[in-house]
Amino acid sequence: MTTYTCAIVGTGAIAAAHAEAVVRSAGRARLVGAVDVQAERATAFGAQWDVPTYGSLAELLDAQRPDLVHLCTPPGSHLALALECLAAGASPVVEKPPVLSLAEFDRLRAAETEAGVPVATVFQHRFGSGAVRLRRLVAEGVLGRPLLASADTLWFRDDDYFAVPWRGRWDLEGGGPTMGHGIHQFDLLLSILGQWTSVTAVAARQARPTDTEDVSAALVRFESGAIATVVNSVVSPRQTSRLRFDFEHATVELEHLYGYSDADWRLTAAPGAPDVLPAWTSEPADTPSSHTAQVNAILDALDAGRRPPVSTADTRVTVEFVAAVYASAFTGKTIGRGEITEGHPFYGSMAGSGVPWLDTATRVR
């Protein structure tokens, strides 16, 4: 059995989920180092997880030569850190959102190709058994043609949440709940329904002290002919994360908050349709969505000599979708897939040519 060495950069709250995923890999992976700009936080993390800490990523890479580096830092630092990992031959495992723009993501993909070292994005909701089962049934045609879907991320973040300096900043976080909160739900939706073709969206700053939006809503069309709505919010007191898929033969629903198990899914067969319940209750066994589930999938891929999930090709579909939501919301136009390319205002920044509620002096933030 190959044991892969892993390091963690950024020891804030989400780092614990990454560390736990490595520790729970049954010896297939082990932690060999951690880095944080706050020395005291790094020291505490190192003590908790029995791992050495280093003053910089460069020191860690030189000392440990890890196979995988989990980037758990604020979004604005992801690209530079990922490029540093690739140059050292280490595979970055990047938390969402992976970068701040399509331009940055294409830089990352070019560096990945040049280095010959794969990059993975953390979208752990793809790896719960419910999602794995649903993708299989869709691919096999068991549920019939997809007709209608929705993805709602209705969360609540108070004003104090945005007191953290990098939050709510276009130049540091890349966007609001479209970029950093709802991305998990609609990434899962996109992974189920396949390629999207157009987006018509709105976004607004309703209540929070932020430069970015605090709500957005989009109408999405897919190559299959399916239509979906996507709503993202951080102003919703009753929090929930919901997905619904209406197929010819059944409705499949998921409701949870920050992670799901099989118990959170529900299937309703269409009247007179073929009996799809036996297929829904078949393998795989219940695996909750989690960083552990994705890390295990990454290790499986490495063992098999395959590119680890979620690949940059997969992730670009989602990052382009985010850019299209902002472009449509801020221009009032429907945005087609492939429309945002180099030279387009929304290629280099999710804020594009300007955010309606910001004056000229603050638009660059």
Question: What pLDDT score was predicted for residue 363?
Answer: 46
**pLDDT tens digits in sequence order for the chain, 365 residues long:** 899 999 999 999 999 999 999 999 999 999 999 999 999 999 999 999 999 999 999 999 999 999 999 999 999 999 999 999 999 999 999 999 999 999 999 999 999 999 999 999 999 999 999 999 999 999 999 999 999 999 999 999 999 999 999 999 999 999 999 999 999 999 999 999 999 999 999 999 999 999 999 999 999 999 999 999 999 999 999 999 999 999 999 999 999 999 999 999 999 999 999 899 999 998 878 999 999 999 999 999 999 999 999 999 999 999 999 999 999 999 999 999 999 999 999 999 999 999 999 975 454 44
Helices and strands (H and E) in the chain: how many: 11, 14
Using alpha carbons, select from 98, 94, 90, 95 the residue that is nearest to residue 116. 90
Burial 228-261 (b: 16+ CB within 10 A, else e): bebbbbbbbeeeebbbbbbbebbbbbbebeebbe
Q: What is the pTM of this model?
A: 0.96
